[in-house]
Structure formats: C-alpha cells, structure tokens
Amino acid sequence: LIQVSPHYPRKYPHQTHIEVFAESIRAIGVTDAIDVYKDETGYVLAHGLRRLLAGLYIDLETVPVNVLE
C-alpha cells in the first residue's frame, strides 16, 4: 500500500487526464518507475502520482518502484 504524502507538490489530476495517461500505459507500459520512501506508517509516494493513478485505473497489479533512502 502506497500513501500520498500530504506534502506532495502536485494536486490530484483531472480524471480525464488519468484516463488518457492510462490508455498510453496500456499501450506501451509504465516506462518510468514511481519513487517512494518508507516511513513509520509504510510507503509514501515521492514522485509519480499520475503513473500510480493511471495504473490503478487500468487495474495493473504492479508498477515499477524505486525505494528512496
């Protein structure tokens, strides 16, 4: 489970943008990993909100992840 940091710099993208991005991911896959870091509650998203949301939208089971130190 990955949580979005309350300090994440981007706002949540519009649903239409997620749908378009999801179709791109469906066609070519996720080309860049999302970045997360671990804190006391679990993993927190550092970069890649649109990729994560688009992957969830098309029911991807996994996405590439970099765990930051």
21-67 per-position pLDDT tens digit? 999 999 999 999 999 999 998 999 999 999 999 999 999 999 999 99
More confident residue, 34 or 9: 34
pLDDT at 10 over 90: no
The reported pLDDT for the residue numbered 12 is 77
Residues 52 and 45 sit within 8 Å (Cβ to Cβ): yes
- Tell me if the pTM is above 0.95: no
The reported pLDDT for the residue numbered 6 is 81
More confident residue, 2 or 10: 2
Q: Which of 22, 44, 47 is nearest to 34 (CA)?
A: 47
